[in-house]
Structure 1
Amino acid sequence: MTEGLKGTTTVGIVCKDGVVLAADRRASLGNMVLSENVTKIFQIDEHLALAGAGSVGDILGLVRRLRAEARLYRARVGKEMSVKALATLTANVLHGGRGYAYYAWFLVGGYDEKPGLYSIDSAGGVTADRFTAAGSGMEFAFSILEENYRDDLSVDGGIKLALKAIKVATRRDVFTGGGVTLVTITKEGYREWSEEELRAFLE
């Protein structure tokens, strides 16, 4: 991930029984590949996650803050923060830091009473989405999502669609590559799939 929104592709999909978040694992600086094993999706609470496209330092700083706020909210209120509340908090942090901008674009996904997904730009603009993508390969990912998404998609179908979108972005965008991180969030909670599990699933 480089400055701005280059160097990655992240995808989010709302399914009838959960949310799927996926991202490539390549980190780049200009035209140089720094790593093929970078995590870009982070658990915030039991049913909440955030994916980031952009500056590694900014993403990790925001993740630490959101995790602390989520723990504080649970301690004060006695329940987990909703997906919308996490998206609003993220937007407020980003908007409040405009003098010191976060060079990143974020996807917030989770499951409270139902699955939810929000896209949040670096200035704090929030959009609720059924499917979305961010990063340097987002145009290629969107072409797959728009053609194949449907409202009755199951999590299993969402996994296949997210992997297809990342695969196309990897093939067409030079800044996207490495392996794939894929997370599902259902009423059972947060689950990160290993590459072995994904290979077995696709077989």
Structure 2
Amino acid sequence: MAMFSQNPLLNGPNYSFSEAPKFNAPEGARQHRFDPYTDNGGSTLAIAGADFTIMAGDTRLTSGYSINSRFHPKVFKIGGTTSDQSDATLVLSVVGFAADGEALKERLDAICKMYRYRHGKPMSVKACAQRLSTILYQKRFFPYYAYAILGGLDEEGKGAVYSYDPVGSYEREQCRAGGAAASLIMPFLDNQVNFKNQFIPGSGEGHALQECERRPLTRQEVETLVKDAFDGAVERHIEVGDGLQMMIITKEGIEELILPLKRD
């Protein structure tokens, strides 16, 4: 389908009414199509630690081969009571169609704020994860064209990351990447965070090799991995770049970092 393509030469420009009228219909009839979706590029990722969660995304906004903005954040604080969300406890990342991502963020933020007003406490990450699934499922016949990841700390203070498909299916994971460069970043996270295909050198041959010990990563290690993941992605994907927005969720609050990425 043209709506999922990023090749303007084959499928026309990536915006609404992108397909020209078809003339292979019966004589005198013309077929028009309204396509409300586009893919604005960019990538996000999230990693859950022992007592923290780090969520990150690049800041490039694209349409086909054009860069619409070099600073368009994809990671947002959710459910705070102040204008700068300084007391928020949850973070949502959205990537895909920028307008749908913005609408989804605003709706979830409003729900979390109403919950906080009514109950006098922030919504837990588990409850918010379930509510976000319901929001997405309610739109299953005309879905938000956005890939969402929700992060926070659970009731035990451990890092929690929930990933979603566009119609609300979700699961809690140790790490997840989404967006244009997800296929480049996710294998790297599988190896470095989930310790898949990591073996002790000299411990045997073939299937006799012993796996490396799976241990929780420190905050500094995760921050380095996030930067390395995006540094690698920008080398191979034209829709990722310009800046790296990183949010670190701890029991003290949410810290935001903005780091540079390649701009070409």
After TM superposition, the score normalised by the length of structure 1 is: 0.90
Contiguous gaps of at least 5 residues in structure 2: 1-13, 15-36, 80-87, 194-213
Give the secondary-structure state (helix, strand or coil) at the position aligned to 2:41: coil
User: 1:136 maps to which residue?
Assistant: 180
Instruction: Provide closer, same or farther for how the CA distance between residues 33 and 182 of structure 1 changes in structure 2, counting only shifts above 3 A.
Output: same
Residues 1:102 and 2:144 are matched in the alignment: yes
Q: Secondary structure at the match of 2:184?
A: helix
Query: Contact conserved, 1:9 with 1:136, CA < 8 A, in 2?
Result: yes
1:10·1:166 contact (CA, 8 Å) conserved in 2?
no
Distance 1:64 1:86, change over 3 A: same
Mapping of 1:137-156 within 5 angstroms?
137-149=181-193, 151-156=215-220
Q: Is the 8 A contact 1:17 1:154 kept in 2?
A: no
Match of 1:73 in 2: 115
Q: 2:222 aligns with which of 144, 155, 158?
A: 158
Q: SS at 2:131's partner residue?
A: helix
Three-state SS of the structure 1 residue aligned to 2:255 is strand
Task: Kindly report which structure 2 residues correspond to 1:13-162, keeping only aligned pairs within 5 A, or say none.
Answer: 13-45=47-79, 46-113=88-155, 114-149=158-193, 151-162=215-226
Runs of 4+ residues over 3 Å off in structure 1: 2-6
Matched to 1:191, the amino acid is E
Identity %: 32
Distance in 2 (alpha carbons) for counterparts of 1:19 and 1:111 = 7
| Greater relative CO (CA pairs within 8 A, separation 6+) | 1
Cα RMSD (Å): 1.8
Question: Per-residue CA shift, 1:42-93, capped at 9, x if unaligned?
Answer: 0003210000111111111111111111111112222111111111111111
Paired positions, count: 196
Counterpart residue number, 2:243: 179
**Runs of at least 5 residues in structure 1 that lack an aligned partner in the other structure:** 197-203
Shift of 1:5: 5.5
